Amino acid sequence: MKTILVTGGAGFVGSHLCEALAKDPNNKVYSLDNYFTGSELNHVSGVNYIKGNTVDIESLITTIPDVVFHLGEYSRVEQSFGDIETVYNFNKLGTFSVLEFCRKHNCRTIYAGSSTKFGDGGLGRSQSPYAWTKASNTELVINYGNWFGLDYAITYFYNVYGPRELSSGKYATLIGLFHEKYKKGEPLTVVSPGIQKRNFTHINDIVSGLLLVGKEGRGDEFGIGSPEAFSVLDIAQMFGGEISMLPERPGNRMSADVMTEKTKALGWEPQHSVKDYIESLKEAAKSNEL
């Protein structure tokens, strides 16, 4: 039996990962989450939930895990300018505590990096407080491997969408927000210039990649992303209806290189299309209107 800890296990990605891990009877799964964007509504059966901050991991986690999936960080680009103290506390102090915990207890560590690191030819790593903390954390993880022999793998997600994503409020994700506005018949708000491209990747493809890297991956650069890139305007037009343009915002990268070679070499392939997903959301919305 393996004991597995998922930080951020009550969040969007973390809850789906916990659900997949808990299906294996050989796994004992724990979640550590401070519920900043996570929710008890995301709890799944077979998982032991612990409430608290990652900076306190040493005192909160009394059963030592074999593997730690570290997803529990602040994860918004534009909002990070106004939340810089929270970003630093969660992403620098919290992640340092997680790495120290993993070093002391010899836990295999899977770190969820951010594809913002590769945005705009590498300039994206410093375009926002969020991007900088995530990029510098990947260097810290690598150094822990070099300095202390930490057994690690670093993954990079590309614009995750799917069930349980936040659809309202300050931290709503793009497709979740568009879906909510579409259902209400409201204009879809697109941040200018609208041509910024993203590789939207379904949550099930993210989780399958995480499970595979968690089992077989070693080292850096395990990208998990769809090869299809669409602009934000493309996505809005897939939903249809009125589009309202918003002013440009800081930290808004135009593109990112998708690096999936190492993940594909393990046998991973994306199985989902954002076009099909949006069509399914529209069909469901129409059915509810009938």
Residue 284 — pLDDT band, cuts 50, 70, 90? very high
Closest by alpha carbon to 11, among 79, 90, 78? Answer: 90
* pLDDT at 187 > cutoff 60: yes
* pLDDT at 238 > cutoff 50: yes
What percent of the chain has pLDDT above 70?
99
* Count of domains observed in the chain: 1
**pLDDT at position 22:** 98
**pLDDT at position 272:** 98
Closest by alpha carbon to 224, among 214, 238, 233? Answer: 214
* pLDDT at 143 > cutoff 80: yes
Domain span including residue 31 = 2-289
**pLDDT at position 289:** 67
**pLDDT at position 119:** 84
pLDDT in tens, 40-85: 999 999 999 999 999 999 999 999 999 999 999 999 999 999 999 9
Residue 290 — pLDDT band, cuts 50, 70, 90? very low
**pLDDT at position 121:** 82
Distance CA 87, CA 74 (A): 6
Strand 27-33 versus strand 47-51 pairing type: parallel
**Mean pLDDT of the region 110-114:** 97
Distance CA 73, CA 89 (A): 9
Residue 222 — pLDDT band, cuts 50, 70, 90? very high
**Mean pLDDT of the region 128-157:** 98
Cα angle 33, 95, 257 (rounded to 5 degrees) comes to 100
- By the 8 A CB rule, do 231 and 197 touch? yes
Q: What phi, psi does 259 have (nearest 5°)?
A: -110, 95
**pLDDT at position 120:** 83
**pLDDT at position 288:** 81
**pLDDT at position 154:** 98
* pLDDT at 185 > cutoff 90: yes
Amino acid occupying residue 78: E
pLDDT in tens, 166-177: 999 999 999 999
**pLDDT at position 227:** 94
CATH at residue 118: 3.40.50.720
